[in-house]
Amino acid sequence: MAMYESDHTKFMREWMEKHPEQRDEQKEGRALWWDKPQSVEEQKRVAAARVPVKPYYYDINN
């Protein structure tokens, strides 16, 4: 049984085969926004600065 593949996925797969130079640009874009190195100290600082979320955001009594 074959797995479903959307038309968009097929298009992108074919397009990337025809334009392999875009793979490097894709990696650069991902590194720009997502792939950031973080130290343990940085992770601890972010966790300590996190503000707890209220159970119900619009309740003014809590």
Residues 13, 18, 21, 23: what is their CA dihedral angle, to the nearest 10 degrees?
A: 10
State the pLDDT at residue 45: 94
Task: Write out pLDDT tens, residues 6-36.
Answer: 999 999 999 999 999 999 999 888 888 887 8
Cβ-proximal residues to 43 (8 Å cutoff; 6+ apart), any chain: none
State the pLDDT at residue 1: 58
Across 41-45, average pLDDT: 92
State the pLDDT at residue 62: 62
State the pLDDT at residue 17: 94
pTM of the model: 0.47
